[in-house]
Amino acid sequence: MMPPVYLDHNATTPVDPQVLDAMLPYLRSEFGNPSSTYSLGRRAREAIETARGQVADLISAFADEIVFTSGGTEASNIAIRGGAGSGGLRRDIVTTNIEHPATDACCEILAREGFSVHRVQANADGLVEPASFRECVGEATALVTVIHAQNEIGTLQPIAGISAIARRHGALMHADAAQSVGKIAVDVRALGVDLMSIAGHKLYAPKGVGAVFIRRGLDIPSVLVGAGQEHGRRPGTENVPYIVALGSACKIAALKLDEESARQRHLTDTLLHRLETEIPDIVLTGHREFRLPNTLNVLFPGVSGRRLLELCPEVMASNGSACHADQEQASAILTGIGLDPEMALGAVRLSVGRRTTMNDIEVAASALAAAWRGLHPQSGRNSDPAIRGAHP
C-alpha cells in the first residue's frame, strides 16, 4: 500500500535531511557549553553565531537582533509580554480576533495585569484592514500584535500598513510570523515591525527551537530570569544542536524560497480546482489571493471535516474544530470571520510542502472527494451524524 499523502505542513514539517546533518555533530562530538572558554565551548559559540546570521539573513535583519528561543510560543511571550512591559504608562494592547492561541493567552495575562485589550475584527476573507486600527491605536497603545499569516486559513495580513499606524502613535509592532517565515519572503524592514516570532518546526527544523526578532535599540524586559545568555533576553544554556538546525533551515529556505513558493502555489491551485470540479458546493475560506501559497482551508458541504478525514486514510490533514464528549464545535477562527458554525464544521486544512508532488495532489483530491461522497449521498440528504448534532 502507498503511504498516505501528508498535507499538514502548517502543523509541522519533516526535518530536512541537510538540517539533520548540520545538527548531528553538536549532538555527538561537538557537545561543548557555548559559555565555556576552551576550544570545545568556543566552537559551540561560533556555531550559534553562524546560525544567528543565517536566521537574520532570511528576514533581512541584523544578527544581533535575533534571540533564540524554544519555539514560536516562547518567542511570542517574549515579544508581547516584554513589549507591553516596556511601554511605561501606556496600558493598551491592540490585536485581532483571529490570532494564534499563543498571542491570545499573552493578551489575557496582560488584561489580568490591568492592560486594556482591543481586538480588531477580521472581514469575511480573514483580512484585517489597516483602517480599522486607526480607530483603536492611540497615544495609550503600548503594543500592536497581529498574526502575519493566519495558521488555519492562510490569509496574509497587511502588516506594513498596520505597523505604519502603530509607529505614528509611538506603539511597538509585533508580528507572529511562525507560519510565514520560510514559506514567503519576509523582510522585517519592509514590514516595519519591532518584534517578530519565528518557529523552527514550521520550516523544516526540529520542534523545540525558534527565535524572536527584537529591533536594534529596543530595550524590553525579559520574561525569564537567570544567567546572561542571549544578552539576558532569554537566559538558560543555549540548545546548540537545535539552534544550528534552525540556522541551516533558514539558509536552505532562502535558497529555495521563490521557486518553491511558486511550485506550491501551483499545487494548491490544482488541488482546489480538482476539489471544486468534483464537489461543486465546496467553499474556500480566507482570501483567494492574499494567502500562503501552500495553504487551502476548504469547507466540505453537509459533512463534518473531522469525520471526512477519519474516512480518508489516504490523506493526513487537519481541521480547526474541537471535538468534546458529545459534540463537535466549529473553529473559533472560522466563526470569527462570520461563517455559520454548522457550515464551519466541514472545514479541512490542506497544506503542502517541499516533498509534495503533483501525483500526491491527484491522489488526495480523488480520495477526499470519494470520502465526501460516502458521507453525502447524491440525493442531497445529509447522512453525517456530526452535522445533524448526534454523537460525532
Nearest Cα residue to 352 out of 265, 290, 248, 284: 265
Mean pLDDT computed over 51-62: 98
Q: How many domains does the chain have?
A: 2
Query: How is 48-113 classified by DSSP, letter by letter?
Result: HHHHHHHHHHHTT--GGGEEEESSHHHHHHHHHHHHHHTSTT--EEEEESS--HHHHHHHHHHHHT
Residues 206 and 98 in one domain: yes
Residues 85 and 109 in one domain: yes
> Cβ distance 307 to 371 under 8 Å?
no
Final residue belonging to a domain, choices 253, 270, 288 = 253
| β-pair partners for 93 | 117, 143
Q: Residue 59 has which C-alpha cell?
A: 528576514
| Residue 51 CA: distances (Å) to CA of 16, 66, 164, 210, 242 | 16, 10, 30, 12, 10
Residues 297 and 150 in one domain: no
Mean pLDDT computed over 23-41: 96
* pLDDT reported for residue 386: 55
> pLDDT tens for residues 75-111?
999 999 999 999 889 999 999 999 999 999 999 999 9
Residues 57 and 203 in one domain: yes
Query: Does the structure show a pLDDT above 80 at 326?
Result: no
Query: Does the structure show a pLDDT above 90 at 380?
Result: no
**In the chain, where does DSSP find H-type helix?**
17-23, 39-58, 72-85, 101-112, 130-134, 159-168, 188-191, 240-278, 305-310, 332-336, 341-344, 358-375, 385-388
* pLDDT reported for residue 387: 55
Query: What is the residue-averaged pLDDT of the chain?
Result: 93
Tell me the C-alpha distance between 355 and 249, whole Å.
Answer: 15
Final residue belonging to a domain, choices 212, 232, 253 = 253
Residues 207 and 135 in one domain: yes
Q: Residue 340 has which C-alpha cell?
A: 455559520
pLDDT class of 378 with cuts at 50, 70, 90: low
pLDDT class of 322 with cuts at 50, 70, 90: low
Query: Does the structure show a pLDDT above 90 at 236?
Result: no
Residues 261 and 236 in one domain: no
Q: Which residues are catalytic?
A: 323
* pLDDT reported for residue 385: 55
CATH number for position 360: 3.90.1150.10
> pLDDT tens for residues 301-316?
999 999 999 999 999 9
* pLDDT reported for residue 1: 74
Final residue belonging to a domain, choices 253, 272, 307 = 253
* pLDDT reported for residue 316: 98
pLDDT class of 45 with cuts at 50, 70, 90: very high
C-beta atoms surrounding 303 within 10 Å: 25
* Percentage of the chain modeled with pLDDT above 90: 87
C-beta atoms surrounding 158 within 10 Å: 17
Query: Does the structure show a pLDDT above 60 at 16?
Result: yes
Query: Rounded to 5 degrees, what are φ and ψ at 236?
Result: 125, 145
Nearest Cα residue to 357 out of 1, 68, 7: 7
Residues 136 and 213 in one domain: yes
Residues 302 and 183 in one domain: no
Tell me the C-alpha distance between 80 and 176, whole Å.
Answer: 10
For 143-157, b/e burial (b = at least 16 CB within 10 A) is bbbbbbbbbbbbbbb
Which of 168-172, 218-222, 260-264, 339-343 is the least confident region? Answer: 218-222
> pLDDT tens for residues 140-173?
999 999 999 999 999 999 999 999 999 999 999 9
Residues 119 and 222 in one domain: yes
> pLDDT tens for residues 360-370?
999 999 999 99
Q: Residue 311 has which C-alpha cell?
A: 474516512
Residues 88 and 235 in one domain: yes
Residues 356 and 384 in one domain: yes
For 81-91, b/e burial (b = at least 16 CB within 10 A) is bbbbbebeebe
* Percentage of the chain modeled with pLDDT above 70: 94
* pLDDT reported for residue 87: 86
Beta strands in 269-324 (DSSP E): 283-284, 295-299, 315-316, 322-323
Tell me the C-alpha distance between 27 and 310, whole Å.
Answer: 38
Give residue 184's Cα distance to chain centre: 12
Question: Cα angle at 306 between 305 and 310, to 5 degrees?
Answer: 115
pLDDT class of 389 with cuts at 50, 70, 90: very low
Residues 246 and 117 in one domain: yes
Of 191 and 325, which is predicted with more confidence? 191
Domain housing 270: 5-10+257-388
Q: Residue 268 has which C-alpha cell?
A: 494548491
> pLDDT tens for residues 348-361?
999 999 999 999 99
Which of 9-18, 131-140, 324-333 is the least confident region? Answer: 324-333
* pLDDT reported for residue 274: 98
CATH number for position 126: 3.40.640.10
